[in-house]
Structure 1
Amino acid sequence: MDMSRSYCYSVLKSLPNAKPVIDRFHLSQKLHKDTDDARKHTQNHIKKHHNKDEVFKIRWALLKNLEDLTENQLLNLITACNKYPQLAQLHYLKEEFRNFFKIKTKEKALAFIDYFKNLVTEFDIPELKSFCSTLDNWLPYILNYYDYPISNGIVEGNNHKIKNIKRRGYGYRNQENFNLRVHLEFKYV
């Protein structure tokens, strides 16, 4: 599930023996949101105090996986990180957390989360402290993944596909036509 308190509460109230698992996609999404918030904060500070806009070209370079960067994105990121150490720290922490998704055991995952929280405390980036609070608040459900390695990635992908169908059709006035389009897209006909 995603990190919706009301949804989790409803599931646990209806199914008291359920073991909710926080989907890794949503965990990564939260990290990227907080990373982007930290980037914006840094950019606003630079613009206000130094009247410079050179860090305004690094949003996607900061959020993408390092190995997926184009040469130009990598160059912009390196330039910004060399000038502004907080951006370098932010990028390092974001990339470092990606290692969490390679961990195979609950014990190692718990140790990694403690290690990551210590890094965030050391670098003192407020937006990532918010992410660490999320880790603390949802820790049992994040760790449930190691007992029940499931993901709702396929469902999320299908929902995204359906939203794109609606967008391309500028909405559908006829439910039957919409259903037919969904069936064609998923090749269920």
Structure 2
Amino acid sequence: QYQTIVHRLFPNAEIIVDRFHIVQLVSRALDKARLLATSGLNHFSREYKVLKSEWKIFHMQESLLNAADSRYYRGLGEHSTQQNIVDLGLNQSDDFKHSYEAYQSVLEAIRNNDIDALSKAITHYKRNGSPMDIAMNTLKKNLSYVLNSSRYSYSNGPLEGINRKIKALKRGCFGFKNQMHFFMRIQLIRA
């Protein structure tokens, strides 16, 4: 909705979809695809345990996965490497594997500010009926704004961070009797 208003008020404005929101969109789609991959699995199988409890490893950058060092994973109940966990999860479902590859390609393009790779990852995505289809379709609809996120260095990340701190302050203090005290605490947080 803001896009139409912005263009009316500022006709020469370049709309930029924040990189955080792009990653958040594909990350949530990856989680939905992962949970769909667990349906129909035996709850005591290794594949189910990997997909259910070691979900953070699937969000890691693929090039940073450790394939050499084995460590104990409580959710799995055995020693394994990060790469083995990812391979075990991806071998369970072709749809999840396809979503994982799309997630990694978008993530890599955004990290490297590679406009061509980001455009290719979005436009060459093949639909397969997974939740990633909706996320990629949304990115494709707003492709020029999404590509602007790699073109320009602007980000609303600092503003989002301050907003998060203010919300945490409100939750932690259970309200203020004096509004000026609240504003002073906000100033102290930002200092």
User: TM (normalized to structure 2)?
Assistant: 0.75
SS of residue in 1 equivalent to 2:187? helix
Which residue is equivalent to 2:159? 155
Matched, 1:38 2:42: no
Which residue is equivalent to 2:106? 97
The amino acid that maps onto 1:99 is E
Matched, 1:60 2:56: yes
Q: Is the 8 A contact 2:113 2:151 kept in 1?
A: no
The amino acid that maps onto 1:131 is A
Q: Distance in 2 between matches of 1:77 and 1:146?
A: 28
Which residue is equivalent to 1:164? 168
1:106 Cα deviation after fit: 4.0
1:80 Cα deviation after fit: 2.9
Q: Is the 8 A contact 2:176 2:182 kept in 1?
A: yes
Q: Is the 8 A contact 1:58 1:77 kept in 2?
A: no
1:25 Cα deviation after fit: 0.6
Which residue is equivalent to 1:3? none
SS of residue in 2 equivalent to 1:17? coil
Q: Distance in 2 between matches of 1:17 and 1:78?
A: 47
Q: Is the 8 A contact 1:31 1:94 kept in 2?
A: yes
Q: Distance in 2 between matches of 1:147 and 1:97?
A: 15
Change (3 A) 1:30 1:175: same
Matched residues, number: 174
The amino acid that maps onto 1:159 is N
CA RMSD of aligned residues (A): 2.8
The amino acid that maps onto 1:30 is L
Structure whose residues are more often helix by fraction: 1
1:131 Cα deviation after fit: 1.3
Matched, 1:181 2:190: no
Change (3 A) 1:184 1:137: same
Structure 2 unaligned runs (5+)? 74-80
1:147 Cα deviation after fit: 4.5
Structure 1 unaligned runs (5+)? 1-5
Which residue is equivalent to 2:24? 29
Q: Distance in 2 between matches of 1:92 and 1:140?
A: 22
Change (3 A) 1:165 1:144: same
Change (3 A) 1:150 1:176: same
Q: Distance in 1 between matches of 2:115 and 2:105?
A: 18
Change (3 A) 1:175 1:134: same
User: TM (normalized to structure 1)?
Assistant: 0.75
Matched, 1:128 2:132: yes
Q: Distance in 2 between matches of 1:89 and 1:133?
A: 15
SS of residue in 2 equivalent to 1:149? coil
The amino acid that maps onto 1:95 is Q
Q: Distance in 2 between matches of 1:19 and 1:88?
A: 35
The amino acid that maps onto 1:62 is F
For residues 109-129 of structure 1, the C-alpha deviation after alignment (integer angstroms, 9 at most, x for no partner) is 4334334x1xx43xx252111
